[in-house]
Amino acid sequence: MSRSLFFNTGFLLSVFKDIVRRLWGACLLLILFTLFEVCNQLMTMGEPFIVIDKNADKIDEAIGLDFLAAIGDASDDDVLLKVGVKHAKSLVSAISDDSANVYLVLTARSLNEKLHIVARGADQLSRKKLERVGANKVVSPFEMGARRMATYAVNPDVVDLMEAFAPGGSYDLQVKRITIQPASRLIGKKLNESNIRVETKGAMVVGISKQNQKMEFNPSGDAVLENRDILLAIGNQLQLKALQQISEEA
């Protein structure tokens, strides 16, 4: 299961050290400016996370929504280390201040070379700076909004499909990366012989990544599943949970 940590700004309280340590593993670190809509989606998806912000009112609000929360400062190297950035799989830096984003990406990259970093960039200049300091992907919220509006005008079915994947959407579909573990009974089987759709009651594998290679989308049915392969799967929460289980167990 992936783990999610949210940061904005402040000092990490020591009372959370044990909790954070238990969340280490293939954790997903997110540094956000606006938190709670995303937090609500993660709650729906059953993904644990921590909200960290220097604003006490924001922390009180987060706690009131049953989010795990503490006052913290994500611009501090020590804080990133304490929350396990060296053990993290991914980081999303979506703070609205481009300078702060650049600093966070630079700091995180220096602490974890393998970290997959997605950052918010307002324009082309910000994009170049963020990529230069270590961001793997830079996303402009303005470009995304404009692209979505244009797509809806030309091909509304595509947008409807995208919205189906959002938590609470009409079909409650999700996309999830699942790693095949050493004990999985899937190992050695061809994709078309794995019986995944039947055993999960509908989950569909739409991509496979082998040994840190790029994701191969629409994989061949003859693709042989191996230890540590990463499956990109589509399904509802129960279907993906079932796929997670057979990817781990004999």
Residues 121 and 200 reside in one and the same domain: no
Residues 20 and 89 in one domain: yes
Do 33 and 122 reside in the same domain of the chain? Answer: yes
Residue 48 domain-assigned (yes or no):
yes
Phi and psi torsions of 74, nearest 5°: -75, -10
**DSSP, res 224:** B
**pLDDT one-digit tens code per residue, 45-83:** 666 677 767 778 877 888 888 887 767 776 678 877 777
189 and 92, same structural domain? no
User: Residue 197 maps to which CATH number?
Assistant: 3.30.70.1450
Residue 179 bridge partners (DSSP): 230
Q: In the listed set 120, 139, 158, which residue is the last one of a domain according to the structure?
A: 139
Is the domain of 7 the same as that of 119?
Answer: yes
- Judgement on whether residues 135 and 184 belong to the same structural domain of the protein: no
Question: Is residue 91 within 8 Å of residue 31, measured between CB atoms?
Answer: yes
CATH of the domain at 116: 3.40.50.720
Domain that holds residue 10: 3-139
Long-range contacts of 22-26 (CB under 8 A, 24+ apart): 23/48, 23/50, 23/84, 24/84, 24/87, 25/87, 26/2, 26/89, 26/179
Are 128 and 227 in the same domain? Answer: no
Q: What tokens does 109 get?
A: 């990259």
Query: Among all chains, which residue has been given the structure tokens 């050493």?
Result: 182
Q: Distance between the two ends of the chain, CA-based, in angstroms?
A: 18
Tell me the one-letter amino acid at 38: V
Residue 154 within a domain: no
Tell me which of 84, 113, 139 is where a domain ends: 139
pTM of the model: 0.58
Same domain, 230 and 106: no
User: What is the predicted pLDDT for the residue at 144?
Assistant: 65
Residues 57 and 118 in one domain: yes
Torsion 68-74-78-81 (CA) sign: positive
93 and 35 together in one domain: yes
* Residue 233 confidence (pLDDT): 92
Q: Say whether 88 sits in a helix, a strand or coil.
A: strand
Residue ranges, the chain, pLDDT below 50 = 1-5, 7-26, 31, 33-34
CA distance readout (Å), 235 to 28, 58, 223: 20, 33, 20
Domain count, the chain: 2
Residue 120 to residues 40, 92, 96, 132: CA-CA distances in angstroms? 20, 8, 7, 14
Indicate whether 35 and 113 sit together in one domain: yes
The reported pLDDT for the residue numbered 16 is: 40
| 144 within a domain of the structure (yes/no) | no
**Do 116 and 23 reside in the same domain of the chain?**
yes
Is 152 a member of any domain?
A: no
Helix or strand or coil: residue 232?
A: strand
Beta strand ranges found along 113-186 (DSSP E)? 116-120, 137-139, 174-179
pLDDT tens, residue by residue, 110-145: 999 988 887 888 888 888 999 999 998 887 777 766
Residue type, 57: D
69 lies in some domain = yes
Q: Which of 139, 158, 182 is the last residue of a domain?
A: 139
Does 223 reside within a domain?
A: yes
Query: What pLDDT score does 60 carry?
Result: 84
